[in-house]
Amino acid sequence: MKAIPTVPLPSGRAMPTFGVGTWRMGESARVRADEVEAVRAAVDRGITLIDTAEMYGDGEAEAIVADAVGARRDGLFIVSKVLPSNASKRGTIAACERSLKRLKTDRLDLYLLHWRGGPALSETLAAFAELKAAGKILDWGVSNFDTDDMRELAALDGAGECATNQVLYNLTRRGIEFDLMPFCAKRGISIMAYSPLEQARMLGDPALKTVAQRHDASPAQVALAWLFRQKGIVTIPKATRLDHLDDNIAALDLILSLEDLRTLDARFPPPKRATPLDML
């Protein structure tokens, strides 16, 4: 696997542009061992970014990450998220402490507000600032924030420290390209793309297959390579099977041509107007 590029964060730290997601992990004891092995295998292969959340499996996904990582915490970039129902100042700090305990670590590399909720954004940011000052989190960001949400955030004290906005983004969900991506790019806020393969629903598409055949690649590799080529985009596909993990990693070496991009644009056209943010 070639070296994974990074994106700069406002703090001066760097975040890998490729990692693994853990959404829907921790929901079944029957497959827990396989999920631990999948995350462990990703780390074995040189992947350092692991994305999780207190919501995933009611915290069990974080415990799976801890079991997979073991003593190899240093050198990894671990991301977790606070639920909006916990996003008051006191609630955010308490939620972070619980996540740290489940992850068996003393700090999070990146802590995100999972989506907008009832507590004021200023409370959540105050908690992030306190956690950062204490070394419990090294950077913070948001998730599922549309352009209006980002404008509201940008008006608050300390908003310049926002490192990323994790949103649903893939070939079939390109709405953010119209206004949200430019807004974030102007402020140095990276986009972290979750469900980059649309939970495999897009992989039978003829256009993807056509491009894949040109490169003797898989449709999944093409969909991921389409994201990898974009500056400031971080991609976190989930893989619980080792063959899927290796297929995703191989996409790092795939370079799409202008002809490929035209084929994909014709099938999955970019947006021509503002649209509400997609969420799963």
| 172 class by beta-carbon count within 10 Å (0-12 exposed, 13-18 middle, 19+ buried) | middle
Question: Does residue 182 contact residue 147 with C-beta atoms inside 8 Å?
Answer: no
What's the angle, vertex CA 209, arms to CA 205 and CA 212, rounded to 5?
140
One-letter identity of residue 126: A
Distances (CA, A) of 147 to 87, 152, 155, 175, 248: 20, 9, 13, 11, 30
What's the Rg (C-alpha) of the chain?
18
Helix H or strand E encompassing 176 = none
| Annotation marks residue 194 as catalytic | no
The interaxial angle of helices 219-228 and 258-267, nearest 10 deg, is 100
User: Distance (Å, rounded) from C-alpha 261 to C-alpha 232?
Assistant: 18
Q: Spell 27-47 as b/e; 16+ CB within 10 A means b.
A: eeeeebeebbbbbbbbbeeeb
Question: Does residue 54 contact residue 80 with C-beta atoms inside 8 Å?
Answer: yes
56, 111, 169, 194: the active-site residue: 56
Helix H segments across the chain? Answer: 32-44, 60-69, 89-103, 121-133, 147-154, 180-186, 206-215, 219-228, 242-250, 258-267
Give catalytic residues, as residue numbers: 56
